[in-house]
Amino acid sequence: MRTQQVFWMGAVVFLVVLLLALYGRVKEPELNLPGKRVIFTDTDKPAYATNTNTCPTSMAQKAARSPWFRARFVENMKLFLNKREVFDPETYNMLNGDSSPFGIQGLDIEALKETLQNPNLTYPEPLSEPRQECVTCAVVGTGGNLKLAGKGAEIDSHDYVFRVNVALTGKRYVNDVGNKSSFYGFFPESVVNRINFGRDAKFDVSS
């Protein structure tokens, strides 16, 4: 009996020492951002990317104060594709390294070209306006964390509201998540789900 106790005690000590040794070798994950980024060139920068924002609470100011955030913040990152990205060989090859939504690998390129050359396709209006000072935004997901939160009015009070996927904003949900929507990002499957939800998925796009 005593021999078994000594054995198990020895085994426990060994495991503890092993775990401590392994823990000591674990390093904080290093920043490994991909080098593939599509940014604005000097010839296609819109007004919001050229004017300097002096708001003390802007994202640029926060990046200046935080080395961690500064390493991850790309102020001139393009938000939307245009035909230059598809027809420029260098940029095309860059984007073709990743599948959707991070790139264009596997997409029907001809259909994409036709879409981007459609005369009715324009950049969203907010991106063509001069930069406003000290705007705020809310990004609303669809994980259910805002259920019964009563944050709808607070969310709608922001200058811009970003919503994704199904983004239920109907009468049953407006008290929790609001219904103001400035930008809506989605996967194709999400559009089908929105149709199924009917009136619960209507947006207020008037503001």
70 and 117 share a domain?
yes
Position 147 pLDDT exceeds 80: yes
Residues 128 and 36 in one domain: yes
Kindly report the pTM of this predicted structure. Answer: 0.56
State residue 183's pLDDT score: 84
Q: In this predicted structure, what is the pLDDT of residue 38?
A: 52
| Cα 207 to Cα 202: distance, rounded to the nearest angstrom | 14
65 compared with 199, residue with greater pLDDT: 65
Render pLDDT for 48-60 as a digit per residue (tens, 0 to 9): 454 556 676 777 7
Is 76 within a domain?
Answer: yes
Distance between CA atoms of residues 91 and 9, nearest Å: 61
pLDDT of 29: 35
Structure tokens at 1: 């009996």
Would you state the structure tokens that stand for residue 40, as one six-digit string?
A: 């604005």
Residues 101-113 pLDDT 10s? 677 788 788 888 8
Shared domain for 143 and 106, answered yes or no, is no
Instruction: Report the domain count for the chain.
Output: 2
SS3 content of the chain, % helix, strand, coil (to 5): 40, 10, 50
My answer on whether 144 and 164 are in the same domain is yes
Specify whether the backbone of 198 is left (phi greater than 0), alpha (psi in -120 to 50) or beta.
left
Sheet with 137-140, edge to edge strand ranges: 137-140, 160-164, 183-185
Residues of the domain holding 177? 136-207
Angle at 101 between CA 97 and CA 105, to 5 degrees: 35
Question: What are the tens digits of pLDDT across the range 171-186?
Answer: 888 999 998 988 888 7
Same-domain pairing of 142 and 197: yes
